[in-house]
Copies of this chain bind each other. A is one copy, B any other.
C-alpha cells in the first residue's frame, strides 16, 4: 500500500469508475493506474471494485470502506503539505468557499479582491448555494470554509467564528403605499402583503416565518429566491415587499427603491466563518477572515483549530460599522 495507490484509488472512484478518465485527472497513464489498482487489490486480498467483463461496474462494500479511509489519509497528507507551505511562506494554492448568494455577491467581492492583491498566486473558488445546502457541501469536504448566516447559535459542525451581525431590510418601490409611512414599520403592516424574500424563508423554522407567527399571522410569499438581486428585480416589478439582507442594498438602488425603517422588527442575524477541524488552515484562508471582519486576528483562528478554543470570540460588529464594506446607503432610507 502506497500513497500513490490510494490516490489512484480515490481518483478512480471520483471519476465514476472510469480508469482512463481518472488517469487524466492525476496526470498519469491508464495502464499505470490499472496496474497499481491490481497491486493494491492483490495486497489487500480482495476486489475493491466489482468487474463486469473488463470494466469496473461497482464499488464493493469493503472497497467503499477502504476508499473512505483512503480519503482521510489523502486529506491528512494534504494537511501535512499545507503545514509545510504555511511555514515556508509559500502562498500559492486553492481556496474553496461555500456560501450563500448574498454573501458571495455583496460581502465577499471586496474582501476577495483584497485577498488576491495580497496573495496573487491563489485560486479562489466560490460555491454559492441555498442556505440549506451550504453546510452540507461543507461537511462533505467540498470546501475549505463556509460563510453562512444564522439568527442565533453557531452552525453545527466545525469551528464557527462570528464575522459580523446584520439585519434584514424591508424594501418597496418608490411610490408603493408603504413608502410614505411616517413611523417605524410594524409587523401588522406586512401581514397580508405579498412578500418577496429568500427561499429559506419557506422553511417552517425560518426566523422570518416565526416572527409572523408570534404576531399570530402567516407570511404571504409572492415569490422567493436564493438571489437577492432577483428579489430586488421582482420588488421593482411590483410583485411585493422585499425582505432581504441589508448587505444586498447598493447606492444605486436608491433611484427606485426605498428601505423602510424596520428597526428590530426581525431578529438580528450573525454571519459566521466556519472552518473544518480536520483541515489545516492555509495562511491566506485565515487572512480572508481578517479582511471581512477586522476585529479578528488570523492567529486566533489557527489557535481555535488546534482545539485551544478561545473563551469567547469578540462580539462581532454590525455590518454597517465595518470599514471597507458595510453601509446602509442614506439615500435609500430618505
Report if A69-B65 is in contact (Cβ < 8 Å); known contacts: A45-B88, A46-B87, A87-B45. no
Query: What 1/0 flags go to A38-78 for Cβ under 8 Å of B?
Result: 00000111100000000000000010011001101100110
Q: A65-B83, A87-B62 are in contact. Are A77 and B45 (CB under 8 A)?
A: no
- Partner pick for A81 among B1, B72, B79, B280, CB 8 A cutoff: B1
In the complex, what's the smallest C-beta–C-beta distance from A38 to chain B, in angstroms?
A: 15
Number of copies: 2
Complex interface: chain B residues within 8 A of A69 (CB)? 76-77, 79-80, 83
A73 B76 Cβ-Cβ under 8 A: yes
* Interfacial chain B residues near A80, Cβ < 8 Å: 1, 44, 66, 69-70
The answer to whether residues A73 and B66 also contact, given A2-B3, A44-B84, A46-B84 and a CB cut-off of 8 A, is no
> A residues within 8 Å of B by Cβ?
1-3, 43-46, 62, 65-66, 69-70, 72-73, 76-77, 79-81, 83-84, 87-88, 90, 280
14 pairs, A vs B, C-beta closer than 8 Å: A2-B2, A43-B84, A44-B84, A46-B84, A46-B88, A62-B87, A65-B280, A66-B83, A69-B76, A69-B79, A69-B80, A73-B73, A73-B76, A76-B76
